[in-house]
Amino acid sequence: MKPAKQRILVGALRERFGASVRRICHTLRVNRSSMQYRLKRNALNEVLRERIKELSAARVRYGYRRIHVLLRREGWQVNAKRVARLYAQEGLNLRAKGPKRRRRSAAQRIRLSPTMPNQVWSMDFMHDTLKGEHRRKFRLLNVVDIFTRECLAIEVAPGFKAVDVVRILNRIVAKRGVPTAIRCDQGTEFTAEALDQWAYNNHIELDFSRPGKPTDNAFVESFNASVRKELLNTSWFDTLEDARRAARTWRREYNEVRPHRSLANLTPEAFALSAKIAI
């Protein structure tokens, strides 16, 4: 039992039985000196604590590691252990998910990993519901660069057809150029003739994942989880325009501010810039 809980127990027994602290500590075999301990507040820690609370309130799904990266960017000379301790003391810990049991596939799919930006993209759909009486459903189309982890698009609409997907991809291609391949599932929008013809005309391979195998498109599935936790689960949207506005804001923060652990805590935009310089 930790000293803090020991002090609570000794106090409760003293109040109930009227015994002295010395006698209770002797009976419980507790060090009496720990009963006199008083927490010493550090002025710097208090300022740091308030800043951690501010960052956590603005980014409710950031754990202490990302908060630590943001603090270091602001100039705080503080290690991750102190941030973790203050983060836990304020009760900000995120609920940890239990490990999932996965059945290993007998034949695992082998793919070449991209070695440069704009080589392989990944895209997928998500869905959510507007607030209000009718609870209208809407969908999101997410497009991600697998190498840099940049979010190339988060499009919000009541629904999507293959021609809508082609229009969005054309807009991204106009800014970034043509990728070698795009990974996606076998949804009707992705297997339609319009998208197939567009990919053929632009010499792009559509790399379809196997039915029932979301791990074939793991990068965008991981991205979808971040969108769900940090955008959709934290807000209610009254209209589609509200959802579009929030998606644009979140996409900009994801690309330009949010540290990414797989990129050595760089942002996707900073990593993409360093990769282009290296090339």
Q: What is the pLDDT of residues 22-45, one digit of tens each?
A: 888 888 888 888 887 776 667 788
Is a pLDDT exceeding 90 seen at residue 159? yes
Specify whether 78 is located in the same domain as 207: no
Is a pLDDT exceeding 60 seen at residue 106? no
Give Cβ neighbours of residue 129 (< 8 Å, ≥ 6 apart).
135, 136, 137, 138
Provide the pLDDT for residue 44. 81
Domain contains 103: no
CB 209 within 8 A of CB 184: yes
Domain contains 45: no
- Cα dist from 242 to 130, 138, 230, 245, whole Å: 10, 12, 16, 5
Domain contains 104: no
Q: How many domains does the chain have?
A: 3
- pTM of this prediction? 0.75
Specify whether 153 is located in the same domain as 256: yes
Specify whether 137 is located in the same domain as 250: yes
Average pLDDT of the segment spanning 56-70:
89
Domain contains 95: no
Residue 249: how many CB atoms within 10 A of its CB? Answer: 11
Give Cβ neighbours of residue 55 (< 8 Å, ≥ 6 apart).
62, 67, 70, 71
Domain contains 63: yes
Ordered alpha helix ranges (H), 177-239: 188-191, 193-201, 218-227
Specify whether 130 is located in the same domain as 266: yes
Specify whether 194 is located in the same domain as 239: yes
Specify whether 29 is located in the same domain as 63: no
Is a pLDDT exceeding 90 seen at residue 152? yes
Domain contains 114: no
Is a pLDDT exceeding 90 seen at residue 249? yes
Specify whether 139 is located in the same domain as 212: yes
Percentage of residues of the chain with pLDDT beyond 70: 91
Return the bridge partners of 161, or none.
none
Q: Which domain holds residue 27?
A: 3-36
Specify whether 137 is located in the same domain as 190: yes
Specify whether 145 is located in the same domain as 229: yes
Rounded distance, CA 110 to CA 142, Å?
24
Average pLDDT, the chain: 88
- Cα dist from 55 to 83, 92, 199, whole Å: 12, 11, 42
Per-residue pLDDT tens over the stretch 261-279: 889 999 999 999 998 877 6
Starting at the earlier edge strand, list the strands of the sheet with 151-157: 151-157, 137-145, 120-129, 181-184, 205-208
Amino acid at 12: A
The DSSP output letter for 260 is B
Boundary-marking domain end, from 46, 71, 89: 89
Residue 5: how many CB atoms within 10 A of its CB? Answer: 9
Specify whether 224 is located in the same domain as 266: yes
Average pLDDT of the segment spanning 45-71:
90
Provide the pLDDT for residue 39. 66
Rounded distance, CA 210 to CA 218, Å?
12
Domain contains 47: no
Specify whether 126 is located in the same domain as 259: yes
Average pLDDT of the segment spanning 172-193:
94
Specify whether 67 is located in the same domain as 163: no
Domain contains 41: no
